[in-house]
Structure 1
Amino acid sequence: MTDGPQVHALVRDDALARGRALLIARLMIAVYLVELLLNFYRPHITANEPTLSIFQKLPGASGSLGRLLSLPPTIFWTVLAGIVAGVAIQGLAMITRPEGRRAVVLTWVTLALLLGPFTLIPLTIVLAYPVQALVCVPGTAFVLLLLHGGQRFARMPLPVLLVAFGWGALVVFGLGRAYSGLAFGTLNGYMGKPSGSLGSQIKNQYRAIDLIILHLSVVNALLVAAGVLLLFVLFRHRVTDAVTGLVLGAAAGLGYNLMESVLFIRIWGSLGTFIGGATGGFEYYVRQTIGLLGGQVAFGAVLGAGLGVAVQARQRRALIGVAAVVAAIGAAAGTETLAAWFSRGAHDHLASGGAFDTLIVSPVLWLLPQAPFILLAAVLLILGRRTRAAAARTAVTTEASGADPAITQAEAPFLTDPALRLWAVVSTWRSYGQPAALALLRLQSAQLDLAAWRWQERDSADEPLAREEGNRLRARVMRLKRNPGTQRVMAP
């Protein structure tokens, strides 16, 4: 067992947090039901068209391609069953008004029933194509660790980032695909049967593709925002600022990027040879190398940072939050449309498919529309880290000046300076060995968690849960100081 805080100790279990979590889930399900109704009442193009377009089998689409482009009926009925069961449990809760542990269990069961079935969509893709998923793991894991380390002070625990990553990979991808699958059929129904000249038919197809891209960009941004806000609510007494939101949003985008990579690697790996254009290898190169810090990761980072600023702001919170969502939508939709436009223009003058095009031209054209948002995310991270560095100095000094401090005056300079902190750990390793160095590292991490709580305390000093969190963190520091390895290092 480690001395680090357990995730369950950080999760809120009060009525307010449960209510907000259920509200977010209900809104997500309400959007799905609206999409379902619009698809149900769409105009039918052919006489034998099924009631819902997701049941329509595409001509010539069979095997792996058919599974990728259609929603399995079993998953659809599981989704509906989960919604019905979730509504029934909420009705039971309204009648019985449970309290304590029973209320917590009913809340989590309801969330699992409402959202869990949608996660079957990405899970079926991973299980069907495990090789494509495995080759995407190393780069994805590296970026996730980079996000964890990039927070500097007041870090969100790695398990929380994993939850955000899972939200993006399972919920955002699953719900986004369910939304857009219905929207695609609805759109085709209202656009009507293709007619007229070939040019007008092609124009209609381009218009449909543009609308679907916009639709997917909107729902993905809203789903990432819902996940970030849900984590803000559920994980208590953590510093909520631009950096917190940035790493959570980026982690959610990274999860979505993993599933999208598997999908596109498989599709173009199967079709690229026959229809030309991208290949599975190119999709891997773009999405799992240069794209790991761009695309959905960068858009999620900008969105999350904006939400973090909105939560921390005293005024115009809604305006800041809406601006962050609009920026993420514009970034995603603009990247898809502008990158294709740039590519068509460039390849009118350059040969496509060669090494220069594959390694340089096409990736640059894909990154070009994203560049402002990647730069914005980097600037927000730098500014947020500087703000945190100043907050760390103040918080550590405040804790060290207390009557019974868990941080002494001698320890304060090391905690506020990352270089000195690293030097202390390395010197301890060389003088006393690895166990003592690890003990010192755990102590420093616990002290920084306490200092981060001290920073957060300015907004929640009267909240009982905040005081409980502070007492737990301080007790953890004192327990680590009694560790034999730590005492050996601290001995005069």
Structure 2
Amino acid sequence: MSTDLSLDRPGSARHGDPRFGPALMIAAAMSLTYLLGALVAWVKPFSASHGMQLPGMTRVLILSVAASWVVVLVIWVAGLRPASDPASTGRLKHALQAVSAAVLILPFTVEDLHRLTQHPGTALICLPSTGFALWIAYQVQRYHRIPVWLLLALFGWGALVAGGFGGAMNFWFQELAPVYLQDAPTLQDVWDRIYTGLALNASIFEELGKAAGLAMAYFLFRRQFSGIVSGLVLGASVGLGFNFIETVLYMNWTDWGTAGFQYWMRQSVGLMGGHVAFSAIAGAGFGVARQIAEPLPRRIAVGSGLLAAVGGHFFNNIVLLAVRHTEPDWLPSNGVVNVLIAQPLLLLALQGPFVVIYLLMLRGGLRTQVLGLTAEMTAEAQTGRGAITAPEIDVLMSPSRRLWFTTTVLRRHGPAAYRALNRLHVAQFDLAMQRWHASRKDPGDQDASVEALRDQVLRLKGRQAVVLTEAREAEVPA
């Protein structure tokens, strides 16, 4: 098993090859972290709120996590066989690593899946606003776009895996904190420590859970991390998933206010802040790392994004906890004014700067993309190979012209021609992006893949010509 967790060491893998070893290490680290919390609770009895009787879902999770290690051991003992063909051995090892990572991650989905089956109506209420935000995240990619399936996969990770992992680690803290923090001079000091610790614990483990999904995507689908724009979008997708499942939880947990208030704050005025903003900034770190050749600066880029996410999350948590428990005088006594004006203004003050930061990064990333992709498309057109021509560049690099062109093809020649044209545009952007990676000597990219992408564009052009011919022939009256 590969244990190299460096971010895309140059030459360590062919372009686009998934790296299952680091993905397995991430899954193992999450699983062992949870088991460590369970071990601490077993060594020193937790608070008397449950006595020694753990909640049912916690017992299921502990047993599932422990059983996942047994399953992984059986998989490796039964599956790893000596083979004379090194290529077959490598493929088998990759398959075992991928299956093992999935097995270790699966237990963290249990609680959130259970929650969704308990409250399907709440989930359906939250889907339109969350779906609209996902659509916005997809649309802001004006040029090279991440596949929809990867956005949905990261959304699912945020909702099921990161949500389950973060909630499980928060549970351990809530149960253990009264035991380990009770030596403070006064009861108020005890509660101050607990509130501060809870805010910090949630910030660290929730952001680590979301970042683990980004890291998995980085190692398994590195080609899709084209730069800061893709990192921001994937990070926002993870955050939207986490915010979705958290909204379902809090809308059915009356201790934190009414369901309507939670929907208003989490799915309306605060939808693109909070978890979305923090995770977007963490994702930007991975996007920047994709374009850095040296290992240390890559780690600094990823670490800086994660540190900003954890810091912002902690500051947001600690202030909101303080407001909730102290009810300061500056909050209006009028409930309507408080909900419609004061609370949104508080969110704006806490989360607004992070929204501004990721929007500025998005703007800068798109401008950089325009310059880089235009230069590479121009260079490709000058080769005369036909994959990208000079007239096509004007259409490709203008979202409004591209929309008009594809809509015209749909109206005149039908859905088949429209789909063929969209596939061609995607492949042309992939070719230009790969040329850009190669020209900058981004880690893990080789010039040889440019030729393969060029051949793919030419095949799609041939297919588009066939589809257009068939459409025109169908339009001719018999």
Once residues 449 and 391 of structure 2 are traced to their aligned partners in structure 1, the CA distance between those partners, rounded to angstroms, is 30
Q: Which residue is 1:327 aligned to?
A: 308
Amino acid at match of 1:478: G
Deviations 1:36-62 (A, max 9, x none): 222222255669942xxxx446xxxxx
Once residues 421 and 49 of structure 2 are traced to their aligned partners in structure 1, the CA distance between those partners, rounded to angstroms, is 73
Change (3 A) 1:338 1:85: same
Structural mapping, 1:183-222, within 5 Å: 183-192=173-182, 200-222=186-208
Once structures 1 and 2 are overlaid, which stretch shifts more, 77-86 or 467-476? 467-476
Deviations 1:98-149 (A, max 9, x none): 6255334322321221010110111000001111111000011111111111
Q: Which residue is 2:284 aligned to?
A: 305
Q: Which residue is 1:480 aligned to?
A: 464
Once residues 12 and 189 of structure 1 are traced to their aligned partners in structure 2, the CA distance between those partners, rounded to angstroms, is 51
In the TM superposition, residue 208 of structure 1 has moved relative to its aligned partner by 0.7
Conserved 8 A contact 1:450-1:474: no
Q: Which residue is 1:182 aligned to?
A: 172
Once residues 212 and 447 of structure 2 are traced to their aligned partners in structure 1, the CA distance between those partners, rounded to angstroms, is 25
In the TM superposition, residue 96 of structure 1 has moved relative to its aligned partner by 4.6
Conserved 8 A contact 1:440-1:486: no
Once residues 201 and 272 of structure 2 are traced to their aligned partners in structure 1, the CA distance between those partners, rounded to angstroms, is 23
Once structures 1 and 2 are overlaid, which stretch shifts more, 278-287 or 434-443? 434-443
Once residues 298 and 121 of structure 2 are traced to their aligned partners in structure 1, the CA distance between those partners, rounded to angstroms, is 44
In the TM superposition, residue 362 of structure 1 has moved relative to its aligned partner by 1.1
Once residues 47 and 412 of structure 2 are traced to their aligned partners in structure 1, the CA distance between those partners, rounded to angstroms, is 78
Conserved 8 A contact 1:245-1:306: yes
Deviations 1:433-491 (A, max 9, x none): 666555444433332233223323433553766654554354334322432269869xx
Conserved 8 A contact 2:170-2:198: yes
Matched, 1:120 2:101: no
Conserved 8 A contact 1:303-1:324: yes
Amino acid at match of 2:248: V
Once residues 13 and 93 of structure 1 are traced to their aligned partners in structure 2, the CA distance between those partners, rounded to angstroms, is 27
Deviations 1:282-316 (A, max 9, x none): 10011111221111001000111022113322452
Once residues 50 and 436 of structure 2 are traced to their aligned partners in structure 1, the CA distance between those partners, rounded to angstroms, is 64
Change (3 A) 1:46 1:418: closer
Q: Which residue is 2:258 aligned to?
A: 279
Matched, 1:35 2:32: no
Structural mapping, 1:26-425, within 5 Å: 26-43=28-45, 49-50=51-52, 55-56=53-54, 71-90=57-76, 96=82, 99=89, 101-192=91-182, 200-268=186-254, 271=255, 278-315=257-294, 316-341=297-322, 347-352=328-333, 354-425=335-406
Amino acid at match of 2:283: G
* Alignment equivalent of 1:449, drawn from 430, 433, 436: 430
Q: Which has the higher contact order (CA 8 A, sep 6+)?
A: 2
Once residues 455 and 47 of structure 1 are traced to their aligned partners in structure 2, the CA distance between those partners, rounded to angstroms, is 58
Conserved 8 A contact 1:238-1:456: no
Once structures 1 and 2 are overlaid, which stretch shifts more, 291-300 or 99-108? 99-108
- What TM-score, normalized by structure 1, do the two folds share? 0.83
Once residues 187 and 30 of structure 1 are traced to their aligned partners in structure 2, the CA distance between those partners, rounded to angstroms, is 20
Once residues 178 and 111 of structure 1 are traced to their aligned partners in structure 2, the CA distance between those partners, rounded to angstroms, is 19
Once residues 322 and 194 of structure 2 are traced to their aligned partners in structure 1, the CA distance between those partners, rounded to angstroms, is 16
Once residues 318 and 47 of structure 1 are traced to their aligned partners in structure 2, the CA distance between those partners, rounded to angstroms, is 42
Once residues 365 and 343 of structure 1 are traced to their aligned partners in structure 2, the CA distance between those partners, rounded to angstroms, is 12
Specify every segment of 5 or more residues in structure 1 that has no aligned partner in the other structure, as ranges. 1-10, 58-69, 273-277
Question: Secondary structure, in 3 states, of the residue corresponding to 1:264?
Answer: helix
Specify every segment of 5 or more residues in structure 2 that has no aligned partner in the other structure, as ranges. 1-12, 474-478
Deviations 1:133-189 (A, max 9, x none): 110000111111111111112211110111111111111011111222123222222
Conserved 8 A contact 2:82-2:89: no
Once residues 249 and 50 of structure 2 are traced to their aligned partners in structure 1, the CA distance between those partners, rounded to angstroms, is 30
Once residues 50 and 345 of structure 2 are traced to their aligned partners in structure 1, the CA distance between those partners, rounded to angstroms, is 46
Q: Which residue is 1:7 aligned to?
A: none
Change (3 A) 1:396 1:330: same
Conserved 8 A contact 1:161-1:251: yes
Amino acid at match of 2:456: R
Percent identity of the aligned residues? Answer: 32
Change (3 A) 1:289 1:15: closer
- What TM-score, normalized by structure 2, do the two folds share? 0.85
Conserved 8 A contact 1:446-1:477: no
In the TM superposition, residue 236 of structure 1 has moved relative to its aligned partner by 4.3
Once residues 230 and 470 of structure 2 are traced to their aligned partners in structure 1, the CA distance between those partners, rounded to angstroms, is 30
Q: Which residue is 1:3 aligned to?
A: none
Once structures 1 and 2 are overlaid, which stretch shifts more, 183-192 or 223-232? 183-192
Conserved 8 A contact 2:277-2:358: yes
Q: How many positions carry a matched residue from both structures?
A: 452
